[in-house]
Structures are given as C-alpha cells and as structure tokens.
Structure 1
C-alpha cells in the first residue's frame, strides 16, 4: 500500500510494519505478507494493511538480488499494531543503534514486535527478547544461544509469547501468520487463507523446522535415523562411532555394515561430510575466520579443515570463500 491509501484504511484495520534488513529473505517476506492479503480477500474486508520500512527509506536488496522501495524510513514510520524485523544471511555483525532505538520506541508504546528468520537476532540485540521464548532459523540457533546465553531459545517452527512473535523464516512465516489470523478472526478464516496457498496443513508452533530425517535421506530404519540425529546434533564436538552405535543399540560392526548398505560410505565418512558441508555454509554465508569455522565444525585446526575440505570439495576453504564473494 502507498502513503496516499494509509489514511483511508478503516481504523479497525491492523497495520503491520515490516522493517527490511539488507539481504532479507524474499521468501520470508512473501510468506509473512501474502496471508494478510488473502485474509482481506477472503473476508471481503480490510482486516490488515502492510507497510515496508527501511533505515533511510531507500531501496533495500533481498538475498536474491531483488530490490524493494519501502514507504517509510525509521524516522517517519507510521502508527502500527505490529512491527516485524525481516532479515536473513549476513547479520552476524549487524549493530545499528538507530535501528535498536527505533524498535525500542515501538516496544515502549506496547506495539507487538516480531522477528522473521534472523530478525530474531536483531530483536535480541536490541534487548527486546529477555524473559521471552523465541526461535530463529535452525542454522543460527547455536550462534544465538552463544551470543545470548540467558535467552530461552527454542527449535520451534515459530513462537508467540505475549506481544513477541518470532519464526524460523521461509514458509514457517505462513504458519505463524495463520495462527495470528486465527486468534484475531477465527479458525475458519485461517483455514480459508491456508487453502488459497495450497497449504494443506496448518503446522503447530512446536513442529520441527527441518524436514524429518527419514524423508531427507529416504530411510525407514529407526537406528539410522537416530544415528544421523546424533551426528547432526554433535557437529562441533564429534562423538566416536562406537558411542553412536551403542546409543542406537547395535554393535560397531553392524553399524558399519548398515551404513554401507544404505549410503555406500561408512558412518565415519558420512559424519565427516556432514561437518564439511556445515563448514561450506559458514564459508559462503558468514565472515567468521577459518579458525572459528574449524572449531564450530569439529576440526582440530584450520589446516586440518583445509586438508579434508580440499579432498572432498576439490578446492580449499579460501577458494570457496573467494568464489562466494564473502569477505
């Protein structure tokens, strides 16, 4: 909606503001705004309006390269009922005192605040999530917990804790907005909105962010599922294969044979590849040092990471980072 339309909106309309952080996720923004549009259409009433905000009112580029022109700068933002911070990759060093003050002003007025994907981290840095349950994209869960050890960070798809709303991003924003629509205007309207997006099941807040392991890897054996779960949960401090085999209830020899049958590689190599792929993501999407990445992914040193990385990906971590354009 543009500025000329704002004064014409019915006073009962919920005005939703979306503060765009550079490299925000277009998927997340669409997922959080499109249900509002559909709610208006299905109800035949202007239940919601939505307004984009940036630091200076200038265009903001998404992570996919598209630029959007906001209606407002933070110094001229309108009266709102909800304000969401929409962010994605590249916010590990985002510290903007003006933005933090802007968010705190709305919080002081009792406005509901939300974080979409990595927007949760920005709310936390503004001091606006203390004493609240919150969630963030699964790739950033550990980092948020390390940065704010007193926060109650969950692995939930989304969290609504009083006037704080956070979600893991992507299509999880659809589920969070459907929950909000249901609370404000009833389950029937929320179901009609879900149907518009062929969203055949409204997921609950507590559901897992990641696709179930059995679907990702197309395995049904519960012992393999449990083994992969243990590996994924212990990237930073790898645990021995004998320990994993014991925890899933089989001998190391059986464990090895079972893994070779399903994946054509042994469990130790599978585990190493998980850790290398985690390192690859950090090289492409963060500015962490090679030492930090090596430590986060369970390698003894940058040189240890480098040897394994080159053997698997056929290029060095430095070449990976240069190719991705990450500083």
Structure 2
C-alpha cells in the first residue's frame, strides 16, 4: 500500500485517538534499516480497525535509529530515536523489516534487541524476523525466516524453522514477507484478545478494500459471522487452498449460500476472491523475497509454475519474471 493512500485512510484525529487512549495496551514499533512502509501501513491498518470497531484501546510508539531509511519510500519516516533501553511498560514489540538482508551486529537496534526482555511479546515482519533471531529473541521458538545468503549463521540453529508464510508460536510472531504484515497483525490480535475479534478486523479490512456498492465501513460491521470465518479460512490456507465446497462445509453453510454472500458483499465468487488473495500474496513475495518463482508458486497453492504464470499474467498484465525484473513501487 502506497504512503499517500495510507495517509489518506489514517486522518490525524484517528491516529491521535489511537495513540492516546486512557487505559491502553502499549505497542512498540521498531523500524529496521530498509524497512517497508507498505508493511508498516498494513500493520497500522490492523491497529486502526481495532479503533474503528471500538475494541481494545492501544497506545503506539514508533522508534528508529537516526537516519533509518525505508526501502520503498524516499523520505524519512517520523519516529522517535531508539531509547537506551526498551521501556518496560511496553510488552508488545514489532520489528518492521523489508527485503531480506542480514542484521548488522554494530547497529544500535541490534544492541537494543540483544537486551530485550524474553518475557515480552515479539513480532518480526519480513527481515525484522532475522533481527529477532540474531539477537536470541526467537531461541527455542518456531519461526519463518527468509535468509538472503547461503552462509553459516550460528543463531539459525537456535530457531525451529517453519515453512508457513505467517508463524505464531506462543508469544512470538513472524512472517516471511511484507505482504503478510496484516495477517501477522491478525495473529497477534487472536493471541492478545480473541479469534472472534481477529475475524471481525479481517472482515472489516477486506470489505474496506474490496469494491462494493455498500459503504465499506458499514458493510464490514454487518458481514455474517460465517462469511468472516470463510475469509479467515482463505487467508489461513494459502499453500493448500480449500475448495468452495470445503469452505462452505467448514463454516456451516451451503455452497450456494456462500456464493450468494460473495456476490452480495464483494461482487465476486468464492473462487475468484480466493484466487486474488493468493495472487496478491504471490506478488508481494515475488517483489520482497529471494524465493524462486517455482517456490512462490508452490507456497501460494498453484499446481505448477506454468499455471501460476498464466494466472499472474491475467491478473497483473505481466509475467512473474517480468515483475521481478522491473518491480513497481
């Protein structure tokens, strides 16, 4: 998501309210060198949805070392300087990364994380997960990591690698690419609050982004519970997609009813909607990871690289290889 669109959808009064609630859950965001503004915006969308839905109060603080530059935005991002030590009052930390690169042990963020509390809740987006792993905050936990180089990294042996795009293990959350930041945020909401609230936030954001004749915010608040569950199932089963019949059965409705809902709320069919979710995931992995096109095809549930390329070209007007050669900003 571009910065202009992000700022348009986050007016200053809303941001001020989000950051100044009376009895908040305090959240800290740490911007790693080369972080992605797109992934930061996706995570902020989750926090904003919590506010719009009048659910748990949040207080958010953003920190970065002086001169920290985003990978996908040419201007400085407003953030407080990294503190000498992480404030103990903040128990939920997100390290916002970007394209895969190894952490610098001489960077101030590295030293700060190395002294971070193992008892806090930690989340890493894209290469933000590598910062957590390198500083010991993922020791003994399952995590998804995208390492950019084939070299010996001793700290990788202390982490149990998983192949999922988003991995949640107790109070540790990691995601493979920038595009999965929203899903990581939803996993955090599930952990800290409830799965029902995460489904509500998910449906809220889906309805807001999907073309529909309904007012987006109103529509999101009135999505049937079973439709919210269907959306959540689709996002949770990218690598091994479910059939429309399976989705309908799992949420307890008929396939025909599911099709009516997707037509009514999203002007789509379950199959087309599901395919678009997978293609968007593939597109972001293509532009933000070092995985091969064949690996991305498998990870996003396509039967072959050729089938993936055909679907991708139809959706975005160019082949996966062309998109990787000339990524759009």
TM over 0.5: yes
Alpha-carbon separation, structure 2, partners of 1:46 and 1:130: 30
Of the candidates 27, 40, 48, which is equivalent to residue 37 of structure 1?
Answer: 48
Q: CA deviation at 1:113?
A: 1.4
Of the candidates 15, 26, 45, which is equivalent to residue 37 of structure 2?
Answer: 26
Q: Provide, for residues 243-273 of structure 1, a one-character-per-residue CA deviation record: whole Å limited to 9, x for no partner.
A: xxxxxxxxxxxxxxxxxxxxxxxxxxxxxxx
- SS of aligned partner of 1:106: coil
Q: CA deviation at 1:35?
A: 0.7
Contact 2:238–2:301 (8 Å) recurs in 1: no
Which residue of structure 1 aligns with residue 303 of structure 2?
Answer: 214
Alpha-carbon separation, structure 1, partners of 2:65 and 2:190: 32
Q: CA deviation at 1:147?
A: 6.5
Q: CA deviation at 1:10?
A: 2.5
Q: CA deviation at 1:103?
A: 1.5
CA RMSD of aligned residues (A): 4.0
How many residues matched? 223
Which residue of structure 1 aligns with residue 258 of structure 2?
Answer: none
**CA distance 1:206–1:128, shift in 2 (3 Å):** farther
How do 1:124-273 residues align onto structure 2 when only pairs under 5 Å count?
A: 124-137=133-146, 140=148, 148-198=156-206, 200-201=231-232, 203-204=235-236, 207=239, 210-214=299-303, 217-218=306-307
- SS of aligned partner of 1:195: helix
**CA distance 1:147–1:188, shift in 2 (3 Å):** closer
Structure 1 unaligned blocks of 5 or more: 220-273, 285-322
Structure 2 unaligned blocks of 5 or more: 1-11, 208-230, 241-295, 309-319
Alpha-carbon separation, structure 2, partners of 1:105 and 1:22: 19
Alpha-carbon separation, structure 2, partners of 1:6 and 1:193: 15
Q: CA deviation at 1:75?
A: 2.6
Alpha-carbon separation, structure 2, partners of 1:152 and 1:205: 21
Q: CA deviation at 1:70?
A: 0.3
Alpha-carbon separation, structure 1, partners of 2:122 and 2:61: 14
1:105 aligns with 2:136: no
Alpha-carbon separation, structure 2, partners of 1:146 and 1:37: 38
Q: CA deviation at 1:130?
A: 1.7
Alpha-carbon separation, structure 1, partners of 2:196 and 2:152: 36
The structure having more radius of gyration, on CA atoms, is 1
- SS of aligned partner of 1:127: coil
Alpha-carbon separation, structure 2, partners of 1:92 and 1:120: 10
How high is the TM-score relative to the length of structure 1? 0.56
Contact 2:18–2:57 (8 Å) recurs in 1: no
Contact 1:157–1:204 (8 Å) recurs in 2: no
Which residue of structure 2 aligns with residue 50 of structure 1?
Answer: 60
Which residue of structure 2 aligns with residue 119 of structure 1?
Answer: 128
Q: CA deviation at 1:162?
A: 2.2
